[in-house]
Chains A and B, each alone.
Chain A
Amino acid sequence: MFEIRVHGLGGQGAVTLCTWIAQAGYAVDSHVQAFPFFGAERRGAPVKAFVRVDEQPIDLRSQVYRPDLLVVMSPDLTGLALQEGITPEGRLLVNCGGELAARFAERFSRDIHYIDGTGIALELGLEFDGMPMVNLPLFGAVVAQADVATLEAVLEIVDEVAGRRGNREAYEKAVQAGWDGVEVARAPAEPSAKPAASETDYDLSRTGVTPIEP
């Protein structure tokens, strides 16, 4: 079984991205499962969504706590995403540029796979309601990294969506750029001391889930 968890902000298309990933896995005859955590649906609020792909029918119904691939659509959420868990050998894919990825690699002492999905979307003029459609390049990137489907399957799904919106060429380019464009910022050989919290960290206390102590 291959498990994926996506962290994004409301409006970035994290839920749609997970549905597409499942469709791609389904297109190559795998059993799939895709679902978000349903909370208040607000623009800009942190969103989590999950995908499972397996050759066997899937019995798990719980959320994904130890993903094989952890996807971060907004780099502010990287600390939070890691805190919520990943398998020891799991891969972290962040939507960001090389400079930020190198800083993350140092701070979190791990390899950071990254792609500038925002840059790709903006360059191709792909915006939806004023927000760059980062889920298109990330769709290509995630499926390539997860190796759960073929590029043909991905393009077919995107063509269908693009056909409804009449922007097929740009959609395909975005997905292809994502498929080809993932790079890696390597963790430093000497792990740094425990990283200090930075202002870019998501403030966990705002999630309001801290148990009340007696």
Chain B
Amino acid sequence: MKLLETGNHLIALAANVAGVEVVPAYPITPQTQIIEMVADLIARGDMDAEYIPVESEHSACAALVSASLTGARAFSATSAHGLAYMHEMLHYSAGIRVPVVMANVNRALGPGWNIWCDHQDSISQRDTGWLQVYVASHQEAVDTVIQAYRITEDHSVLLPLMLNLDAFVLSHTYMDADMPSREEVSKYLPPYRPLWKLDPKKPVTHGSVVYPVDFSETRESMQIGQDNARRVAARAAEEFREMFGRWHGAMVDGYLLDDAEFLIVAMGSLAAESRVAVDALRSEGKAAGLLRVRFFRPFPIDELRELCAGRQGLMVIDRDFSYGMEGALFTEVKGALYGYADPPAANLIVGIGGRDVTYELIADHAKRAMAGELAEVTWGDSHVTRAHEITREVLREFEDLMD
């Protein structure tokens, strides 16, 4: 069924057609519309699920884990500080191997307080063991919720998945999308079949002390699950295309890659805007292409090695920053390519805290990168002056102004 809805509402509706059975949640802007819609669907009798209002995001994630361990298909949503507050339970949920799905509406972390989009929240959870997908459109958000359970619940994966969508740009914007019916989805996504589940009739202890003699194996098995997710995600995307006729890429998505001499590498809605930048560059006769990183975890190592080899240059766009280093995606891309492909690469930091990013800005920086004129790391839309430096001298000037 075709719908005109916000990204948030589409996520909630997609969770319903995906047969989600338990939703523990705590509200936070800009995610709240998702769980409001879920609560509404349940209250109207349109969704057969248990809604658990909890007192914090830490508890939301704890309830998410518990629900999944009883054999239910569980879903939640959060943003920014909510995700940060879950941090301990994110490690827990991956460590205990629950196939849950959570939408994270990408929002900046304060202070200064900011409800708008950047990727700092989810990038900061990189090493928790969660699979991470970044979507670029409303339709991809819908389709990825459905694909996500196929991936997480595969017995060779059994790791939680974080579906990241950009605050406001996707979460609150109305766009048209196709919503498959519950019946159609059930042919693609069968009910969750847990390997085992918590059962009072057969009590077991799960997730207790593991001595050094066993611990490394539990952790290496998480990495095996991540590696298996590459194959499982590719198959899930492929079968989705066969059944529903839509394709958003598997680990990565590409645009005009075949003859591209220069690649823009990006995630999320900036990658959609970058498609328009690629069109603009092509109209000026510049052979640009787009490589959209869809899965950030597991990271598309093989795809990047294959697709970046032989190019004349890369510009990696980050909507996040690893302080003291560079944009996180830039680090990952270079790490994947080390020893395999060696095109000159530059890092563009833009769109932090919801600053609007136009295709013109992306195309202008890409042209500078092609000409070898873009610094290794460039804050493309920031205008720091001496007044932003926290020095005794500047503070004194400020105090003088106040007097």
Contacts and interface: CB of A to CB of B under 8 A. Distances in A.
A35 B388 CA distance: 32
A109 interface: no
B395 interface: no
A60 B169 CA distance: 10
Contacts of B261: none
Interface stretch (B173-181, B186-194, B196-204, B333-341): B173-181
Given A22-B4, A32-B4, A59 B173 contact: no
A34 B6 CA distance: 9
Provide the main secondary structure of the chain A interface: loop
Given A38-B116, A38-B172, A59-B272, A212 B359 contact: no
Interface stretch (B153-161, B293-301, B379-387): B379-387
A31 B176 contact: yes
B273 interface: yes
A60 B359 contact: yes
Q: Say which size band chain A's interface belongs to.
A: 20 to 34
Contacts of A202: none
B106 interface: no
B385 A61 contact: no
A63 to B, nearest CB: 5
A214 B386 contact: yes
B269 interface: yes
A32 B3 CA distance: 11
B356 interface: yes
Contact of A33 (B115, B173, B386): B173
Given A19-B174, A32-B176, A33-B174, A38 B4 contact: no
Interface in B257-303: 269-270, 272-273, 275-276
A15 B209 CA distance: 54
Contacts of A63: 356, 358
Provide the main secondary structure of the chain B interface: mixed
Contacts of B149: none
Contacts of B358: 62-63, 65
Contacts of A26: 2, 4, 176
A38 B169 CA distance: 10
Interface in A170-214: 211-214
Q: Say which size band chain B's interface belongs to.
A: 20 to 34
A132 B2 CA distance: 33
A23 interface: yes
A82 interface: no
Nearest to B362: A62
Contacts of B116: 38
Contacts of B169: 35, 61
Nearest to A34: B174
A65 B358 CA distance: 9
Contact of B175 (A33, A36, A62, A214): A33
Nearest to A51: B174
B167 to A, nearest CB: 9
B168 A62 contact: no
A161 interface: no
Given A31-B176, A32-B174, A62 B359 contact: yes
A212 B4 contact: no
A60 B273 contact: yes
B374 interface: no
Contacts of A36: 172
B385 A214 contact: yes
A34 B356 CA distance: 15
Contacts of A212: 385, 387-388
B357 interface: yes
A58 B175 contact: yes
Contacts of B388: 212
B233 to A, nearest CB: 23
A10 to B, nearest CB: 16
B275 A59 contact: yes
Contacts of B4: 22-23, 26, 32
A72 to B, nearest CB: 21
Contacts of A211: 383, 385
20 contacts: A26-B2, A31-B175, A32-B4, A33-B175, A35-B174, A36-B172, A38-B116, A59-B273, A59-B276, A60-B276, A61-B273, A61-B357, A62-B273, A62-B356, A63-B358, A211-B383, A211-B385, A214-B385, A214-B386, A214-B387
Q: Which 6 A-B pairs have the closest CB atoms?
A: A35-B173, A61-B269, A34-B174, A214-B385, A62-B358, A212-B387
Given A32-B175, A60-B273, A61-B169, 6 more contacts: A38-B168, A57-B139, A60-B276, A61-B166, A61-B269, A61-B357
